[in-house]
């Protein structure tokens, strides 16, 4: 689908918001806003933390680019409000967004569909005992990963290498979410694969291999350092990239995602088996972000990517009712 910039009408770029990823969202949204304006789109910044979403309708916005990350933006809540307002928006709809933000629900769907993902233990805040926490390393082995079930950008994530550190890691994650995900650590290559499109027309972009300082791809190394290496072409053994792209497309489609997304993957060093970690339905669009980097390798500029995503904006309701 292609449209002239003027055909989009008045466009809101949602950025900021209330989540723990507010700072990154503002960085993403600012980049998108500039790119759309440079393309001639009548685009405006809109921060849901400072304005009510009903202002979108009152002020005549005809389309929304969602550059929000995390909860209250990537979890189906904003998508539901936009469905009620009848304003087309970028990215996945209500159900797919709500499932994908929840790493445990995502795993359950993927496992049901036979898609490989690391083994896990779920601890619900206020319902687990010290004994259950201590038992996790015995079940999953060490090292292991502890993280909130519904945060992104590695916020609240701890790599646990010693049993004595387990309780504190759970406390850190539980301070951010009522559900704590304890996950098997996969030692090997860390890669990510973006997807553009919907259903059978969705395509996987080039895989990016991530080489972070000391293997620690944390919040700082994601956004605020130039020490992390992003390799595209990824340099994986022949056939591996294509296999990961097919696996990622399957994972994206079974969740019912649309528009765009990015799947993070670990490849076990010993077996070369890929394990899917999570699916981001509103990926970053900052200067360090991975979707623009992969798109560039596929010949799509940042500006053209933003315009293409805006052109894909839609509503779940219109798809259900048979509208184009």
- Among 70, 264, 289, 314, the one annotated catalytic: 264
In order along the chain (324 residues), what is the average pLDDT of each group of 10 residues?
78 95 95 98 98 98 97 95 97 98 97 98 94 97 96 86 97 95 97 97 98 69 73 94 98 98 97 97 93 98 97 81 39
* Residues 21 and 127 grouped into a single domain: no
Cβ partners under 8 Å of residue 77, min gap 6: 71
Residue 153 designated active-site: yes
Considering the domain architecture, whether residues 175 and 287 belong to the same structural domain is answered as no
Same domain, 230 and 105: yes
CATH of the domain at 14: 3.40.50.20
Same domain, 84 and 159: no
Indicate whether 197 and 228 sit together in one domain: yes
Tell me how many domains the chain contains: 3
The candidate with the shortest Cα–Cα distance to 90, out of 99, 79, 104, is 79
Residues 262 and 290 in one domain: yes
Cβ neighbors of 167 (< 8 A, separation 6 or more) are 130, 133, 134
Domain range for 303 is 99-117+186-309
223 among known catalytic residues: yes
Structural domain contains residue 316: no
Indicate if 124 and 41 belong to the same structural domain.
no
Catalytic residue, candidates 151, 189, 278, 316: 278
Q: Is-catalytic flag, 264?
A: yes
* Cβ-contact 282, 91 below 8 angstroms: yes
CATH label of the domain that carries residue 289: 3.30.470.20
The answer to whether position 322 is within a domain reads no
Q: Could you tell me if 80 and 155 lie in one domain?
A: no
Residue 155 CA to residue 70 CA, distance in Å, equals: 10
> In Å, how far are 149, 187, 220 from 143, measured between CA atoms?
18, 9, 21
Q: Are 218 and 303 within one domain?
A: yes
The residue from 97, 221, 280, 282 that is catalytic is: 280
Is 323 a member of any domain? no
For residue 74, tell me if it sits in a domain. yes
Does residue 318 lie in a domain region?
no
Catalytic site includes residue 120: no
Query: Which are the contacts of 23, defined by CB distance < 8 A and separation ≥ 6?
Result: none
- C-alpha to C-alpha distances, 324 to 1, 312, 314, 320, nearest whole angstrom: 11, 11, 9, 10
**Active-site entry in 25, 153, 282, 294:** 153
pLDDT of residue 155: 87
- Are 285 and 214 members of one domain? yes
21 is catalytic: yes
Active site residue 302: no
Q: What is the pLDDT of residue 3?
A: 59
Give a yes or no: residue 315 inside a domain: no
Per-residue pLDDT at 317? 79
Relative to beta strand 63-66, strand 10-14 is parallel
Closest CA to 258 of 192, 191, 318: 318
């Amino acid at each position: 689908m292609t449209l002239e910039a003027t055909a989009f009408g008045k466009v809101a770029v949602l950025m900021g918001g209330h989540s723990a990823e507010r700072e990154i969202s503002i960085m993403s949204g600012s980049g998108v806003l500039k790119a759309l304006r440079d393309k001639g789109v009548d685009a405006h910044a809109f921060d849901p933390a400072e304005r009510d979403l009903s202002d979108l309708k009152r002020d005549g916005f005809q389309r929304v680019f969602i550059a929000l990350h995390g909860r209250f933006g990537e979890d189906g809540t904003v998508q539901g409000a936009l469905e009620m307002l009848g304003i087309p928006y970028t990215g996945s709809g209500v159900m797919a967004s709500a499932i994908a933000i929840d790493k445990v629900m995502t795993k359950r769907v993927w496992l049901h569909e036979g898609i490989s993902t690391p083994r896990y233990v779920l601890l619900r805040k206020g319902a687990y005992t010290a004994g259950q926490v201590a038992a996790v390393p015995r079940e999953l082995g060490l090292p292991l990963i502890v993280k909130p079930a519904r945060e992104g950008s590695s916020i609240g994530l701890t790599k646990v290498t010693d049993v004595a550190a387990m309780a504190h890691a759970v406390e850190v994650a539980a301070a951010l979410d009522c559900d704590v995900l304890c996950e098997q650590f996969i030692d090997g290559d860390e890669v990510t694969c973006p997807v553009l499109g919907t259903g059978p027309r969705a395509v996987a972009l080039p895989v990016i291999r991530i080489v972070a300082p000391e293997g620690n791809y944390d919040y700082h190394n994601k956004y605020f350092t130039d020490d992390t290496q992003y390799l595209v072409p990824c340099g994986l053994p022949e056939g591996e990239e294509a296999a990961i792209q097919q696996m990622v497309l399957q994972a994206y489609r079974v969740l019912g995602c649309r528009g765009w997304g990015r799947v993070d993957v670990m490849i076990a060093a010993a077996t070369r088996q890929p394990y899917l970690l999570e699916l981001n339905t509103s990926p970053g669009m900052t200067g360090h972000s991975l979707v623009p980097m992969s798109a560039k390798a596929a010949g799509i500029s940042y500006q053209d990517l933003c315009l293409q995503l805006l052109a894909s904006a839609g509503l779940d309701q219109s798809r259900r009712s048979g509208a184009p």
